[in-house]
Amino acid sequence: MTPELKQQIDNIVNQHKIVVFMKGNKLMPQCGFSNNVVQILNVLGVPFETVDVLADPEIRQGIKEYSNWPTIPQVYINGEFIGGSDIMVELYQKGELQQMVEVALAS
């Protein structure tokens, strides 16, 4: 990964309380896993940003190296990598995700 790409991803992750690197966007997810994440965040009623990795092949590959996580979507809360669709579903079902987003939005 180039230093410029790392800086670009750093900026995106740190500019937003909650950001999802996904296929498509929050209005039009392009895969089921991305859609799961969007639906969970919509149910929680929290503001979040999305980055469409299909629109930028460099970010699509770069985000996998950045997080050392092989799949998309990827969710960051308060600059911290949380995980993908399965982890988001699990955290939501346990009630832990609500707490995480509340803490992030309060800070």
The enclosing domain of 21 has a CATH number of 3.40.30.10
Give tens-digit pLDDT for 2-25.
Answer: 999 999 999 999 999 999 999 999
The three-class DSSP label of residue 20 is: strand
Host domain of residue 75? 3-106
Looking at residue 107, its pLDDT comes to 82
Q: Render 36-93 in DSSP notation, one character per residue.
A: HHHHHHHHHT---EEEEGGG-HHHHHHHHHHHT--SS-EEEETTEEEE-HHHHHHHHH
Q: Flag residues of the chain having pLDDT under 70.
A: none
Q: Which structure tokens are listed for 96?
A: 């832990």
DSSP 8-class letter at 30: S
Number of domains in the chain: 1
